Amino acid sequence: MSAPVKHTVAVIGLGGMGSGMARALLTAGHPVTVFNRTPDKAKPLAEAGATVADTAVTAVTDADVVILSLADEPAVEEILFGQLLEHLYTYQRVIDTSTVSPAFARSAAERLAARDLRRVEACVVGNPHMAAAGQLRIFASGDPAEVDAVRGVLDAISQSVVYLGQSGRASSLKLAFNLLLGVQTAGLAEAVTFAEAEGLDRTMLLDALDASGWRSPVLSFRAQYMRTRDYLPAGFRGALMFKDLSLAQAEAAEHGVRLPVTECTAGRYRAVVAAGRGDEDAAAVVDL
């Protein structure tokens, strides 16, 4: 049996998830080049064996696969279409793990295809620790042949890969996941607020919930931030939570659907951003 192909991978965007995926790829033996607009975030990866590029264009020069892990649609527009488009070759494949609207995802795939470039849409589920351990869950959409072509890279960063079909579906699923995450986190914050108003200790409540039928890995992860009252470094920034809930509302409206609980929850994260705490973990909503 032949050894698995080791792709040369460029990772653009080194937030918690991007940094984690780059680390998992290095562990799996893939040559990795990284780029981030804030260079300091690349230093730990350089120490782990990654090559650090000074521009996004330089990062993709020798890459077979380009992974994007960017904050939002404007960032994807700027990096992918504003900087990289003229420098990508037809043999290179772009795996976009950024959370964007389904409409943007479909448009991005069409715009790249018009240039004979290949895009795989990847909904990555997990947290930065899972990313670094190669234990994300991935739901991919786009051309199935292109998903298969980058399977070695996807396997290196995940414990499972599920194919969903046409472009846009992975983005729809990611927004559904993040909608539920936002609502659950805000609900946990309100439970804490209520309990403390009744004179109960925050840590006691969170420990009791963690040992109960209400426990979940997602809530346990956010609860740890609430225990310590330290929301940095963020696992999922409050600003991104607000962005994703807003995207879900807009997408639902396109189908004539209202999401009243999501609408209310988005208001809580809007307050987090307005308070200047958008770069903290979404669990900071408990303090507001």
Helices (H), the chain: 16-27, 43-47, 56-60, 73-76, 102-113, 128-132, 144-149, 151-157, 169-197, 202-210, 217-228, 238-254, 260-274
The residue assigned the tokens 């009791």 is: 208
Q: What are phi and psi for residue 136, nearest 5 degrees?
A: -70, 165
Q: What are phi and psi for residue 86, nearest 5 degrees?
A: -75, -5
Exactly one of 6, 41, 43, 174 is catalytic; name it.
Answer: 174
Q: Residue 118's beta-bridge partner residues?
A: 93
Residue 6 annotated as catalytic:
no
Calpha distance 190→184 (Å, rounded): 10
| Residues in CB range of 35: below 8 A, 6 or more apart | 10, 11, 12, 13, 14, 42, 52, 53, 54, 55, 56, 58, 59
Cis geometry, peptide bond prior to residue 233 (ω within 30 degrees of 0)? yes
SS3 state at 276: coil
Do 41 and 64 meet the contact criterion of CB atoms below 8 Å apart?
Answer: no
Q: Which residues of 4-21 are buried (b: 16+ CB within 10 A; e: fewer)?
A: eeebbbbbbbbbbbbbbb
Among all residues, which ones are annotated catalytic? 174
